[in-house]
Amino acid sequence: MIQQEKTKLWTWQFTIIILTTFIFFLGLQALMGGFPAFVTGITHVPSKGGLMTTAFMLAAIITRPFIGILMHKLNIKKTLIITLLFVIITIVLSFGMESFPALILLRILQGMGFGIITTLLATLATNLIPSERLGEGIGYFGMATSLGTTFGPMIALTVVHSFSFQNLLLFTFILIIIAVLGSFFIKSRKNDPAVRPVQGKKSVLDYAFEKQALLPCLLVCLFYITFSGIVNFIDGLGSEYHFGGKVSLFFLIIAGMMILTRPLSGRIYDRHGHKFLIYPASVSGIIGLILLTLTHSFPMLCASALFYGVAYSVMQPTFQAWAVSRVSPDKKGTANAMSLSFMDLGMAIGAGTLGNLASFVGYNATFGYSGILLLLLLGIYLAGHIAASAVNKSMKTSA
């Protein structure tokens, strides 16, 4: 009975954290889709709309290392609740606001809140996951974040076009209130490894960075550059071929693939390791991007979503689980912060670089060129795997 309790994954606490995470991501990602549309509408300058996303992401990226430092000194539950209330205040201040500088400032503040809250939730979740079920547990956590990321912008565009941006703010306000209520049921234990000070290490860099987590973080950054291209330019491809509103089905297919593959991929990770996932997921992602390069019909678009959806479903939780597994228990928070920051960095890089590329070569070719990044990812991963195998053999021989 003791062993069963130890390996149980779906505890009440884990369930609350997963639900709170999904609700929070749904709300903030809805604003991610709504703010650019609203700002573009009032300024008639699309680049200013894009700055709403850039400011948000950069604020989150810059904030995460600092929360990694402070996490060892703060009560995670209280910090989570206070930061959620802070985000609510920024949402309230957004009502009726049409000043571009003020809106940029609010997006920066929301990005800071997003960086703090996502790191805290990820750390709370990984602390509860049994080590032998790490891949499965992070897979479910990743599903909560990914579904929120997928459905948030879709809901945002529907609400903004059918009602108003103020209605979207109200929708997000209600969701974050629910997230606050859920946070009151979360227990933050003082003896959690990730909230204890790092023993024997005192520099800021030791709290904010862990070199053992760097390789999976770099790889997840490469993948999210390609995902940024999907998020930002799939609608442009759909407009080019007159798919209309049907292009949103691309994200629904990806969401469906997540629901189907995440539980299975998590179990594969726990039993066989990340190599049984990264290789097939990379190939599937490359096929999906090649199909996008060739897309001129709606069925082809759906086929590309199936293949890319497998890659998206597998990559993020696998790299995050790998990053967390490579560090000591007291550095889980740092590994989570690094993984999330590199994901956001990939999104920011992709939006700018692939956007400039699309203006020269078109949408189809842009997706094809982004496929080169997955080939690079695969090459780096293979090289790392060969190097690690060589080191292991050398150690066994010397022993």
Look up residue 119 and give its two tokens.
Answer: 């790191």
Q: Distance between CA atoms of 54 and 68, rounded to whole angstroms?
A: 22
The reported pLDDT for the residue numbered 49 is 74
What topology is assigned to 1-192 in CATH? Growth Hormone; Chain: A; (1.20.1250)
DSSP letters for 336-388: HHHHHHHHHHHHHHHHHHHHHHHHHH-HHHHHHHHHHHHHHHHHHHHHHHHHH
Q: Distance between CA atoms of 25 and 146, rounded to whole angstroms?
A: 8
Other C-beta atoms within 10 Å of 303: how many?
Answer: 18
The reported pLDDT for the residue numbered 85 is 97
The reported pLDDT for the residue numbered 399 is 56
The reported pLDDT for the residue numbered 1 is 35
Cα–Cα distances in Å, from 159 out to 21, 70, 156, 286? 22, 37, 5, 34
Q: Could you tell me which CATH class the domain 210-393 is placed in?
A: mainly alpha
Q: Distance between CA atoms of 357 and 391, rounded to whole angstroms?
A: 40
Burial of 300 (0-12, 13-18, 19+ CB in 10 A): middle
Q: Which segments in the chain show pLDDT lower than 70? A: 1-6, 46-47, 189-208, 245, 391-399
Q: Distance between CA atoms of 33 and 47, rounded to whole angstroms?
A: 14
Global pTM value:
0.80
Q: Where in the chain is the domain with CATH 1.20.1250.20?
A: 1-192, 210-393
Residue type, 148: G
The reported pLDDT for the residue numbered 138 is 87
Q: Distance between CA atoms of 96 and 73, rounded to whole angstroms?
A: 38
The reported pLDDT for the residue numbered 169 is 96
Q: Distance between CA atoms of 197 and 331, rounded to whole angstroms?
A: 9
Closest by CA to 291, choosing from 327, 329, 259, 253, is 253
Other C-beta atoms within 10 Å of 258: how many?
Answer: 24
Cα–Cα distances in Å, from 45 out to 101, 117, 384? 14, 31, 44
The reported pLDDT for the residue numbered 189 is 61
Residues 62-105: pLDDT tens digits? 898 888 777 777 888 999 999 999 999 999 999 999 999 999 99
The reported pLDDT for the residue numbered 385 is 82
DSSP letters for 14-80: HHHHHHHHHHHHHHHHHHHHHHHHHHHHHH--HHHHHHHHHHHHHHHHHHHHHHHHHTTTS-HHHHH
